[in-house]
């Protein structure tokens, strides 16, 4: 019998840590960095339903995709349920961003 151990170190940055980093790299106050993040989110929320695609060079592309209706199962009861069609947001990172992450 073989025992394979995989070490996975996942470091997650939460919102306040991201705002602090944005503040530091953008040479602005944390209050201003928080506003930038709020405006960015609000802009995505308002414009994606209208445009279905927002491309940010060097960062990536936010795109709205249609998810078809499908059948699913309630995990508690096993009962089959109908899952309605909906829209979802996908993000495809730009090559430059992927290159920096993988260096």
Write the pLDDT tens digit of every residue in 20-72: 999 999 999 999 999 999 999 999 999 999 999 999 999 999 999 999 999 99
pLDDT score at 6: 58
b/e map 59-81, b = 16+ CB within 10 Å: ebebbeeeeeeeeeeeeeeeeee
Say yes or no to pLDDT of 2 above 80: no
Cα separation, 37 vs 19, whole angstroms: 8
pTM above 0.85, yes or no: no
Yes or no: say if 37 and 19 are a contact pair by the CB < 8 Å rule.
yes
């Amino acid at each position: 019998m073989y025992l394979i151990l995989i070490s996975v170190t996942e470091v997650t940055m939460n919102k306040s840590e991201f705002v602090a980093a944005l503040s530091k790299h953008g040479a602005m106050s944390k209050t201003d960095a928080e506003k930038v993040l709020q405006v960015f989110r609000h802009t995505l929320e308002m414009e994606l339903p209208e445009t279905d695609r927002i491309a940010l060079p060097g960062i990536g592309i936010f795109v709205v995709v249609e998810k078809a209706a499908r059948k699913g199962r309630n995990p508690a009861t096993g009962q089959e349920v109908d899952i309605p069609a909906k829209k979802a947001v996908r993000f495809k990172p730009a090559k430059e961003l992927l290159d920096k992450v993988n260096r």
